[in-house]
């Protein structure tokens, strides 16, 4: 690695460190969970309070809840986020070593440079979501396979299986990559004269060792030996495939957008307690609804798959839980040095062309493309977002590391450029199409300010929370959930008239979901009691 490359990597690493430190200091999301994060916090709190298994089913991936629970037991959410950042930094060190082993020193440096300059990887490292954990587990798979290439014996295969199992726990759709990784191990061991059966046995053993504890925990707590969320992915499938779906988050009016309330919102129109069995029934019901919508209009669904692929292939960061533009408003200088998704994907195309020509590298395409395909298929089957797309960055970085080196060669060698002209054209098309905007939104969303209000309220800053709600309503004046939140906040700070006005506006809206009307009715009763108590207090104080 030459001096300039080392300086560039050091500068990007320092910039990322400063970004995380400022985020921890200035952004309330660092100590207050929203949406998916609130579900994970509840699960982690349950694990801490009823160690070591907890008492509640996992609505989302349980593995991330475990990651949060261990440091939370010592120092709360703040320590959990610090531990998450340390794990992320360790992951980049491990990935660099693995790339150095497989590709050589210079491509490994290029790969690390790309990873540090790809903004979504930094963005999700300090969010209470499972995205960064999935990236770390994907890196663990890469490192284990690099070890398996260097060392004989059963233990590297066990390590590969264990890492692959952890990746499945972090992101269930990575189960699709298991066959590709298993085949890669078989091909690797066969090419080097090793026993394929021993490698496969070690892989299966490692896979079982990593999955078995979660299956046992869930069997003990819920009676079902599963490693997947309690709803079995039914909510995500419905969100991505219902009659009103558009490729990103869209629940067709069934849910509000707050994942922490999904089960309760569903049960507002479906009787029954919200336990593991009810969550499983909810998942089954949502799968059935989505399949009915698909069967009613298969042409629309085929168009929807195309739209998901189009959205996924663009540079726009279609954030779901946290707003990229909203964070840029809070930290204007953050993540400005950027290698966008399209550039990463275009360089990866060049990397594929190089790997395909080299027998040793071609074997690696089995598992690299398998990891990438698992993420792509997950985005197509469910719905796409920058969080769901994020794990794709690891296989792309591996291929793009070689792609950078090849691109530098092509700039100097016309003969090599002619030989790779097809790959160059494909790479150029991939880069160019990604620049086409996928969304016209160029300012923070109403949902961002709503989430920011929840975070400020969580940390005890009601004035800042109310200001954020006002900005949310400026962008979407007729959102009942935001009005309901403002009514609740106004009532808590003593503004009963304002709370009553917000609730009356909600009552006047047509097509308000049942769960929202019921919650508004409960809040209206609380406000009525507040007026009654105020009237009694005034009467008692009168002379």
Tens of pLDDT, residue by residue over 460-510, are 999 999 999 999 999 988 888 899 999 999 999 989 999 999 998 988 888
Residue 260 has pLDDT above 90, yes or no: no
For the segment 106-118, the average pLDDT, to the nearest whole number, is 96
Domain annotation covers residue 310: no
User: Is residue 241 domain-shared with residue 382, that is, in the same domain?
Assistant: no
Residue 268 has pLDDT above 80, yes or no: no
User: Is residue 16 domain-shared with residue 96, that is, in the same domain?
Assistant: yes
Domain annotation covers residue 309: no
Residue 514 confidence (pLDDT): 74
Buried b (16+ CB within 10 A) or exposed e, 199-211: bbebbeebbeebb
Domain end marker among 434, 465, 499:
434
For the segment 445-474, the average pLDDT, to the nearest whole number, is 92
Contact 395, 368 (CB under 8 A): yes
CA distance 34 to 321: 8
Instruction: Name the pLDDT band for 275 (thresholds 50, 70, 90).
Output: confident
User: Is residue 66 domain-shared with residue 176, that is, in the same domain?
Assistant: yes
Residue 13 confidence (pLDDT): 95
User: Is residue 504 domain-shared with residue 470, that is, in the same domain?
Assistant: yes
Residues 43, 89, 142, 404, CA torsion sign: positive
Mean model confidence pLDDT for the chain? 91
pLDDT tens readout for residues 524-536: 889 888 888 877 8
pLDDT tens readout for residues 320-347: 889 999 999 999 998 877 899 999 999 9
Q: How many CB atoms lie within 10 A of CB 27?
A: 19
User: Is residue 116 domain-shared with residue 32, that is, in the same domain?
Assistant: yes
Instruction: Name the pLDDT band for 1 (thresholds 50, 70, 90).
Output: low
Domain annotation covers residue 157: yes
Domain annotation covers residue 306: no
For the segment 245-273, the average pLDDT, to the nearest whole number, is 73
Residues 6 or more apart in contact with residue 286 via CB below 8 angstroms? 231, 234, 235, 237, 238, 266
Pick from 66-75, 92-101, 386-395, 470-479: least confident: 470-479
Residue 272 confidence (pLDDT): 56
Percentage of the chain modeled with pLDDT above 90 = 71
Residue 542 has pLDDT above 70, yes or no: no
**pTM recorded for the entire structure:** 0.93
Residue 457 has pLDDT above 70, yes or no: yes
Residues 425, 427, 429, 432, CA torsion sign: negative
- Structural domain containing residue 407: 3-227+319-434
Domain annotation covers residue 311: no
pLDDT tens readout for residues 81-96: 999 999 999 999 999 9
Domain annotation covers residue 88: yes
Residue 543 confidence (pLDDT): 63
Residue 36 has pLDDT above 60, yes or no: yes
Domain end marker among 434, 457, 486:
434
Residue 274 has pLDDT above 90, yes or no: no
Cα distances from 399 to residues 283, 287, 433, 501, in angstroms, run 37, 36, 19, 57
User: Is residue 453 domain-shared with residue 356, that is, in the same domain?
Assistant: no
Instruction: Name the pLDDT band for 192 (thresholds 50, 70, 90).
Output: low
pLDDT tens readout for residues 341-380: 999 999 999 999 999 999 888 889 989 999 999 999 999 9
Domain end marker among 434, 461, 477:
434
Contact 160, 187 (CB under 8 A): no
Contact 177, 167 (CB under 8 A): yes
Query: Structurally, how many domains does the chain consist of?
Result: 3
Residue 162 has pLDDT above 80, yes or no: yes
User: Is residue 277 domain-shared with residue 359, that is, in the same domain?
Assistant: no
Residue 442 has pLDDT above 60, yes or no: yes
Domain annotation covers residue 366: yes
Cα distances from 201 to residues 148, 162, 214, 261, 364, in angstroms, run 14, 12, 21, 43, 20
Residue 271 has pLDDT above 80, yes or no: no
User: Is residue 12 domain-shared with residue 92, that is, in the same domain?
Assistant: yes
Instruction: Name the pLDDT band for 140 (thresholds 50, 70, 90).
Output: very high
Residue 332 confidence (pLDDT): 93
User: Is residue 76 domain-shared with residue 197, that is, in the same domain?
Assistant: yes
Residue 232 is given by DSSP the state T
User: Is residue 195 domain-shared with residue 117, that is, in the same domain?
Assistant: yes
Domain annotation covers residue 440: no
For the segment 196-209, the average pLDDT, to the nearest whole number, is 92
Pick from 42-46, 146-150, 221-225, 534-538: least confident: 534-538
User: Is residue 176 domain-shared with residue 247, that is, in the same domain?
Assistant: no
Higher pLDDT, 498 or 275: 498
For the segment 1-9, the average pLDDT, to the nearest whole number, is 87
Contact 86, 126 (CB under 8 A): no
User: Is residue 187 domain-shared with residue 62, that is, in the same domain?
Assistant: yes
The CATH number for 458's domain is 1.25.40.10
Contact 513, 265 (CB under 8 A): yes
Residues 6 or more apart in contact with residue 448 via CB below 8 angstroms? 322, 323, 325, 326, 472
């Amino acid at each position: 690695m030459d001096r300039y490359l080392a300086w560039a990597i050091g500068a990007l690493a320092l910039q990322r460190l400063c970004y995380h430190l400022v985020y921890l200091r200035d952004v309330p999301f660092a100590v207050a969970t929203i949406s998916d994060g609130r579900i994970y916090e509840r699960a982690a709190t349950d694990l801490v309070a009823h160690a070591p298994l907890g008492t509640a089913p996992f609505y989302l991936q349980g593995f991330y809840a475990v990651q949060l629970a261990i440091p939370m037991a010592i120092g709360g959410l703040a320590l959990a986020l610090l531990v998450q950042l340390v794990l992320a930094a360790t992951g980049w060190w491990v990935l660099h070593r693995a790339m150095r082993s497989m590709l050589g020193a210079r491509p490994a440096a290029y790969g690390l440079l790309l990873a540090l300059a790809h903004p979504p990887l930094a963005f999700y490292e300090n969010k209470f979501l499972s995205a960064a954990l999935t990236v770390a587990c994907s890196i663990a798979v890469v490192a284990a396979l690099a070890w398996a290439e260097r060392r004989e014996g059963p233990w590297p295969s066990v390590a590969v299986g264990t890492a692959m199992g952890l990746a499945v726990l972090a992101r269930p759709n990575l189960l699709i990559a298991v066959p590709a990784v298993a085949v890669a191990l078989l091909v690797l061991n066969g090419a080097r004269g090793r026993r394929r059966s021993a490698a496969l046995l070690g892989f299966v053993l490692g896979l079982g060792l990593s999955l078995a504890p979660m299956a046992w925990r869930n069997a003990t707590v819920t009676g079902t030996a599963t490693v997947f969320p309690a709803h079995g992915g039914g909510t995500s499938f419905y969100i991505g495939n219902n009659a009103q779906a558009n490729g990103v988050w869209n629940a067709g009016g069934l849910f509000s957008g707050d994942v922490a309330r999904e089960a309760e919102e569903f049960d507002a129109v479906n009787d029954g307690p919200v336990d593991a069995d009810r969550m499983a029934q909810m998942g089954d019901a949502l799968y059935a609804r989505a399949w009915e919508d698909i069967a009613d209009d298969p042409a629309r669904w085929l168009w929807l798959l195309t739209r998901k692929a189009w959205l996924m292939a663009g540079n726009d960061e279609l954030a779901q839980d946290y707003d990229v533009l909203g964070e840029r408003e809070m930290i204007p200088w953050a993540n400005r040095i950027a290698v966008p998704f399209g550039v990463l994907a275009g360089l990866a195309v060049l990397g594929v062309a190089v790997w395909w020509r080299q027998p040793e590298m071609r074997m690696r395409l089995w598992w690299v493309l398998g990891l990438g395909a698992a993420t792509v298929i997950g985005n197509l089957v469910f719905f796409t977002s920058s969080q769901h797309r994020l794990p794709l960055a690891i296989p792309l970085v591996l291929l793009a590391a070689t792609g950078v080196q090849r691109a530098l060669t092509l700039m100097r060698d016309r003969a090599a450029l002619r030989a790779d002209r097809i790959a160059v054209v494909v790479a150029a098309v991939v880069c160019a199409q990604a620049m086409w905007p996928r969304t016209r939104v160029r300012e923070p969303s109403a949902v961002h300010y709503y989430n920011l209000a929840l975070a400020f309220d969580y940390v005890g800053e009601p004035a800042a929370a109310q200001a954020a709600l006002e900005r949310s309503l400026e962008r979407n004046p007729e959102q009942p959930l935001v009005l309901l939140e403002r009514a609740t906040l106004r009532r808590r700070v003593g503004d009963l008239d304002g709370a009553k006005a917000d609730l009356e506006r909600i009552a006047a809206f047509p097509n308000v979901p049942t769960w929202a009307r019921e919650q508004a009715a409960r809040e209206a009763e609380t406000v009525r009691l507040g007026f009654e108590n105020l009237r009694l207090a005034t009467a008692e104080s009168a002379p």
